[in-house]
Structure 1
Amino acid sequence: MSAGARWAVVVLVLAVAGAVALWPRSPEADQGLPTRTSPTVDLAAARDQAALWPCPRAEGQGPQALRGVMATCLGDGQQVDVASAVSGRVLVNFWATWCVPCHEELKVLDAYARQPGAVPVVTVLVASKEADGLELLAKLGVHLPAVFHEGDGVRKAMRVPPRLPVSYVTGADGSLTEVTDPIVLTSVDQVREVVG
């Protein structure tokens, strides 16, 4: 390496060190105090506002793929074995807060679930924050039981396709059948047809 190249490296290193030394810092960092973070959401208040129906906790086995998969019931914040929440004939719907078609589908599913003789509906919040999910459900006026796993463990266990919304119908024997026609449920009649 030539002498000129060595001096160029030295100048570059000194420039980087100077930039780091002069980089603006918060007053908390200078005083050794913890830095500011976004305010903590009061999940209890968000749960009260959403007023979700309780998550089912059946005695049956539920789908094999979900046995032992634990998730948070958005309605009460308690842990639930997802297989017990979707045991028997249940419509399981995967959604996210940023998924626009999910918003309309959630309202349709909620309207269906209020009908006499409706098959239970359980929703699974994915790829979103718990507080955001609660806020959206409250805004939509949807009160369906919902579960949430921060690492999307429910979606991974069921090997859900990489699209949203996605719905499944669980059978009494624990089988899982993906709803593919239609992809998005837009009416109560469609939901009735899908669940049989």
Structure 2
Amino acid sequence: MNTRTRWLVVVLVLAVAGVVALWPREQEGQPPASPARPTQDLAALRHQASLRPCLPGAEGGVQVTCLGDGTRTGLALNGPILINFWATWCVPCQGELRVLDSYAQQPGAVPVVPVLVESREGDGLELLAKLGVKLPSVFDERDDLRRQLKAPKSLPSSYVISPDGTARQVTNPLVFTSPEQVGEAVR
């Protein structure tokens, strides 16, 4: 090997070593970095969604964020009330949200509280605006409400809360397709 080839090999080795040294790595004990996502303007999204106000907060209730105004509030688990867990990526949830909104507008309807889980708050607001759903909705970022109800991870998932605080999961139907089905489930 001549001198010129040796220098070329040395330069290539140093270049590769430099790239390896500067290449970004995950820190030990930290989750991998996720790709940067643009910051969402939650105030604008709240305005666009124009949700009806959340139910009044209750002391001792499970702490959630009201999607309509961004305040933290306690959600009381005494009814009658219908709680519906949904996520933006859940396709059946989208149709069900429209059905729940139609039911909630009927005279004498039991209050319906959609609970956004496994999604970003802004994405939930965008979807509700797109669907035209105005239900008073909350965001349970830490999954506290689902844990308290021992709700499954499958979505959508609905619970009827009785006046004494007893929770009953709605399993028939698994996904509401008409306001009449919702009315039957809450009786």
Q: Secondary structure at the match of 2:52?
A: coil
Match of 2:19 in 1: 19
Match of 2:7 in 1: none
**What is the TM-score when the length of structure 1 is the normalising length?**
0.77
Q: Secondary structure at the match of 1:144?
A: coil
Within the candidate set 72, 79, 82, 1:91 is matched to 82
1: CA distance, partners of 2:56 / 2:36: 36
Match of 1:49 in 2: 48
C-alpha spacing 1:55/1:114, structure 2 compared with 1 (3 Å): same
1:76 matched to 2:52? The reply is no
CA contact (8 A) 2:57 2:73 kept: no
The two structures, once aligned, show a CA RMSD in angstroms of 2.3
1:172 matched to 2:163? The reply is yes
Superposed CA offset, 1:52-88 (max 9, x none): 11111166x8xxxxx44211000110111122xx532
* Sequence identity percentage: 61
**What is the TM-score when the length of structure 2 is the normalising length?**
0.81
Match of 1:31 in 2: none
The offset of 1:182, in angstroms, is 0.6
The offset of 1:14, in angstroms, is 7.2
C-alpha spacing 1:92/1:194, structure 2 compared with 1 (3 Å): same
Match of 2:8 in 1: none
2: CA distance, partners of 1:155 / 1:184: 17
Gaps of 5+ in 2: 1-12, 25-34
1: CA distance, partners of 2:135 / 2:40: 22
Match of 2:133 in 1: 142
Superposed CA offset, 1:1-23 (max 9, x none): xxxxxxxxxxxx97873332464
C-alpha spacing 1:16/1:150, structure 2 compared with 1 (3 Å): farther
1:118 matched to 2:109? The reply is yes
Match of 2:6 in 1: none
Gaps of 5+ in 1: 1-12, 25-35, 62-66
In terms of fraction of residues, the more helix-rich structure is 1
